[in-house]
Amino acid sequence: YFILATTESHKVPETIISRCQRFDFKRVDIKSIVARLGFIAQQEGVEAELDALELIARNVDGGLRDAIGLMEQLTFDGKLTYEFVKKSLGLTGHKAIEQLFAHLIEKDVQKALATINEIHFDGYDLSQFTKDFLEFLRGKMIEEIRTGNSAGVPLLLNMIEKFQDAYEAQRGALIPQLPLEIAAVKICLGEVREVGEVEEVEEVKIEEKKEVKRVKKEEPEEAPLVEAVQERAADAVLEMSLDSVKRNFPRILENIATPSVKRSFQTGNAIKVEGYEVTIAFATNFHLEKVNNVQGHDVIERAFKKVFSQTVKLKFELGKVNLPSSLGASKATEEVNKAVEALGWEVEG
């Protein structure tokens, strides 16, 4: 027998998994860690403050062995105090977290920035503080949802997003407190738009006002022009008829992006149009199979929609084909296309 321990069980081959008994070890919850540390402290005669044990439990990511080792390191002269644990781990504690949260809720950007800088100049790890603050916000959000008071959830979500971005930006920040300051400013003052965007919006609004005034003055004279524009817009949607499909066949080909589908489709001939159903005939089964599939239908239907500005239903079948001379199709060309497709080549140009 042997023991195989891994944190990536999905990488273990199935042949090994089938011969093993699997036991999943999960992270120990904070409450259980605190209880175990309290039991050890009692057995060892250590005077441990409950807040100190909870602080250790929150900072070991569910690892009981790490928690026990940390408690042993931070126990001094038979005592384990909250203040000593906080200073040793470089933590700011709940007071600073609650202060910053209160300033953000009040939209007091000056006090929020002052709190961030005070934390930094006191020598605390800003990355750890951001992590603790995110955990605090998460707890607030869960509590709001649990109590059914969802009014404050959007604000908490906004804070979580901004400070999550700040946490990720801290790694490469030249000024350590800058990512947190940016997050605080965005939360208190809102997203700042670029000056160019504001000027552009104002310029558009001014032009719209001028245009409205001109239309009101010249409304009687411009009426025929409006009718003409409406007529042209109506003509923009091409009539769906057999003659129209044949006449616009080259335009349809231009809009087919897949080369193999395009080469086979150009050998086809429109023989019938009923409403929005178009029937295309092909002389050989080779070219029919190239277009009569999901990909072929999708590509060609999109090409039709670009030309006729409306969705059509395509039907492909074998039949007699009279190719338009403008396409330059011939029996020789068809044989070349067959050879190209059989060899899996692509024709450029």
40 and 118 fall within a common domain: no
In tens, the pLDDT along 108-153 reads 999 999 999 988 887 778 888 898 899 889 988 998 888 887 778 8
Please tell me the distance from the alpha carbon of residue 103 to that of residue 109, in angstroms, as a whole number.
7
pLDDT at 330: 46
Same domain? For 185 and 99 the reply is yes
Average pLDDT over residues 27-50: 91
Question: What is the per-residue pLDDT across 199-213, written as a single tens digit (0 to 9) for each?
Answer: 554 555 555 555 544
Q: Specify whether the CB–CB gap between 268 and 304 falls below 8 A.
A: no
In a domain, 348, yes or no: no
Boundary (domain end) residue, out of 121, 155, 189:
189
304 within some domain: yes
- Mark whether 278 and 311 lie in a shared domain: yes
Q: Is residue 333 part of a domain?
A: yes
Report whether 279 contacts 317 (CB < 8 A). yes
Q: Are residues 100 and 58 in the same domain?
A: no
Boundary of a domain, candidates 38, 54, 89: 89
Q: Between 214 and 276, whose confidence is greater?
A: 276
Query: Residue 349 domain-assigned?
Result: no
Distance of alpha carbon 247 from alpha carbon 313, whole angstroms = 18
Residues 100 and 184 grouped into a single domain: yes
For the record, the structure tokens of 25 come out as 């070890």
In a domain, 346, yes or no: no
| Three-state secondary structure call for residue 124 | coil
Does residue 345 lie in a domain region? no
> In terms of domains, do 254 and 221 share one?
no
**Structure confidence at residue 309 as a pLDDT band (50, 70, 90):** confident
Give the domain range for residue 286: 242-340
Share of the chain above pLDDT 70, in %: 77
pLDDT of residue 348: 52
185 shares its domain with 223: no
Examine the fold and report which residue of 73, 89, 105 is the final residue of a domain before the chain moves on.
Answer: 89
Residue 215 has pLDDT above 70, yes or no: no
Compute the CA torsion angle 178, 184, 188, 193 (nearest 10 deg). Answer: 40
Q: Are residues 66 and 109 in the same domain?
A: no
Residue 6 lies in a domain: yes
The pLDDT value given to residue 242: 86
Question: Which string of DSSP letters, residue by residue, matches 300-341?
Answer: HHHHHHHHHSS--EEEEEE------GGGT--HHHHHHHHHHH
CATH code for the domain in which residue 102 is found = 1.20.272.10
Number of domains observed in the structure of the chain: 4
Given a cut of 60, whether residue 165 has pLDDT beyond it is: yes
Q: What is the pLDDT of residues 224-254, one digit of tens each?
A: 554 544 555 444 556 778 888 888 888 888 8
Write the CATH number for 287.
3.30.300.180
Residue 68 · residue 39 · CB < 8 Å: no
**Strand, helix or coil for residue 229:** helix
In a domain, 36, yes or no: yes
Residues 135 and 78 in one domain: no
Q: Are residues 113 and 85 in the same domain?
A: no
* Statement to judge: residues 36 and 78 lie in one domain: yes
Tell me: do 54 and 84 sit in the same domain.
yes
